Structure 1
């Protein structure tokens, strides 16, 4: 498999280091940080890397394939690009760069409600293949209109977010003025001046905005009014009464993202979801929570034959994808890895990161003598 990537950056850690040098500190800390004391963001990574895989060398081996079916669609790898808010803050035009790369590499791209390109633009770039993640609006009218837009854009999968009943307490963002309402302090302005490439690209592409939400936002909002608008517009606390109308409206595949407990997995099955993404929001919501891969192991064991079980949070590399799939995930998603790539390498970051991850993952499969991605559980070291 001839996959090329920039050999100056042969790991996600290399991309992270480069990104830290290229973008303002407030943008990097928004991307890189968790909540409270960052305990769960580190637990996510530590726990997944404790998982060991068992190779089987003396056997017939016909070669490995990354191709993986999900919801009847065959993708070229068992990973996709997770939804990330405010992507254009970290690197200008980031969601469009990543959507294009995902389309060209035939992997899923999930657009967040609160990122910086619109449903329609993401769909145009991906020829109707991008998924859409819904932050639940407080008003039924707004909810219904956004869902109709996603349907008109031919999004095949609607992802409903359940793990943001409150905004995570993130000390870095508060210090940097990125809590709502945000502010641009003298300190932040000096950080921008120290990153001329980022500043120039921002000038070219314009100040990032919540593009999907633009039709619903009053014109001329100042920063304080924007914060009030966001607080009034979204109510992330879900229940059966809020989910049922979405299931009734949406004719495509429906996925619940942010599942961390067996109870919520049971509820998802009961309410007619087609899949779940086991996730703790990248360690950004509940610092005292369990790692995502620990939740995954229990949930996949009990419910993997009843619903498509996917995972994000703590997955950073090709070997991490293998570990997650060996633990029961049928598919994986990554957010930070791709944002490090774009922040480090700009328009080439999406293609580089996908190519790097494919190369890493194929090496693991060849080393294990694992021919198909669905065979990873056979290599889990008990």
Structure 2
């Protein structure tokens, strides 16, 4: 196998270890942590590992392809970059790094409302191919303006988020001063001083800011008033009345992210949505919930022929992508693995991680003698 990635970091775990050494601890814990006791974050990973696939060696085999169609677009592999908030805090300029890599690899990149690059900038990098994930604004006028910006930027898919009716309880963030409003403690300052590469890049690219939201923020807004602004600006609890006008307004594909039940999937179908992403926010919202792989199988079995069923949360490599698709996902997304890559390797991190995941998934496909991604469910050991 011809390696197109840095062989010093041949796994996502290697990137995670390197990332932890390169960025301040408060930034790493924000990236790496779940909520409460991290039970569901860890369950996402462990339950995926229990999914087994069966190879059939003595059969006709003509080679494997990773190419996958989603919403009429052919991507080079069945995975993309999930939306992640405050990406620039974890590694400066990381949204642009990852968006550029996704564009070059022909993979979808989803921009979060609350990350550190704007809709317009990411659309420019990806030539209008990036998706946009909307945190639901409290005011209809703000909602409509953000959606119009996404439309003007030619985003093909709008993702609306249903699993943040309230923010997860994250003890690490409280201890590190990253709850709202964030604060820079002496401990955090000392951590920054110990990570000169991160500090220099932050100096070059500037302090992280919510770039998409800047035009709506009062001038001179300081950190003490940021929490109040966010609380007043966003209302995370979705319902039928909030989704209907978005469906009427958005002419592209509309996806509901954070789905974990048959009931929510059925409602998404009734409201005319085009896809759901089975997700528990990386285990960052409800520690007592199921891992994503558990409801994925039920949802895909019942509704997979009526709506695109995708998945994120807990995937850490090519075998996990294969496991999720074999269980019923038509496509997968990952947040932490790509952020580990960017934090570990800077501007080379996105390209490295995508090459690595493709190589891992290709090896699994060849080992299974599975020629097409859509045939992976035939390899599932039930």
Q: TM-score range by the shorter chain?
A: over 0.9
Deviation at 1:71, TM superposition (A): 0.2
The CA deviation at 1:357 is 0.1
1: CA distance between counterparts of 2:308 and 2:177? 39
Structure 2 unpaired stretches of 5+: none
In 1, distance between residues paired with 2:23 and 2:271? Answer: 42
Per-residue displacement from partner, 1:232-289 (whole Å, max 9, x unpaired)? 1000001100000000000000000000011100110011100000000000000000
Aligned to 2:153: 153
Mapping 1:206-217, distance limit 5 Å? 206-217=206-217
Structure 2 counterpart SS, 1:277: strand
Q: Distance in 2 between matches of 1:24 and 1:220?
A: 27
Distance 1:297 1:3 in 2: 33
What is the aligned partner in structure 2 of residue 348 from structure 1?
348
Q: Map 1:74-223; keep pairs closer than 5 Å.
A: 74-223=74-223
Which residue in the other structure is 1:55 paired with? 55
The count of aligned residue pairs is 382
Match of 2:34 in 1: 34
In structure 2, what is the equivalent of residue 321 of structure 1?
321
Report Cα offsets for 1:130-154 as digits up to 9, x if no partner: 0000000000000000000000000
Which residue pairs with 1:364 in the alignment?
364
Please give the secondary structure, in 2, of the residue aligned with 1:286.
coil
User: TM-score when scaled to structure 2?
Assistant: 0.99
CA distance in 1, matches of 2:288, 2:14: 29
- SS of 2:332's equivalent in the other structure is strand
Structure 1 residue 3, shift from structure 2 partner: 5.1
- Within 5 A, what are the aligned runs for 1:64-75? 64-75=64-75
1:224 deviation in Å? 1.1
Q: Distance in 2 between matches of 1:170 and 1:119?
A: 28
1:330 is displaced (CA, Å) by 0.2
SS in 1 for 2:63: coil
Tell me how far apart the structure 2 counterparts of residues 30 and 96 of structure 1 sit (CA, whole Å): 20
What SS does the corresponding residue of 1:165 show, helix, strand or coil? coil
SS of the residue aligned with 1:136? coil
SS of the equivalent of 2:147 reads helix
Give deviations 1:311-367, integer Å, cap 9, x for gaps. 000111000000000000000000000000000000000000000000000000000
Name the SS of the counterpart of 2:80 in structure 1: strand
Aligned mates of 1:328, 1:71 — CA distance in 2: 16
Residues 149-196 of structure 1 show CA distances to partners (whole Å, capped at 9, x for unaligned) of 000000000000000000000000010010010000000000000000
Aligned partner of 2:235 in structure 1 is: 235
Shift of 1:227: 1.2
For 2:5, the equivalent position in structure 1 comes to 5
1:293 aligned residue: 293
Q: 1:190-244 CA distances to partner (integer Å, 9 max, x unpaired)? A: 0000000000000000001000000000111111111110111000001100000
CA distance in 2, matches of 1:316, 1:243: 32
Residue segments in structure 1 that go unaligned for 5+ positions in a row: none
Q: CA RMSD in A?
A: 0.6
SS in 2 for 1:255: strand
**Aligned ranges for residues 260-299 of structure 1 at < 5 Å?**
260-299=260-299
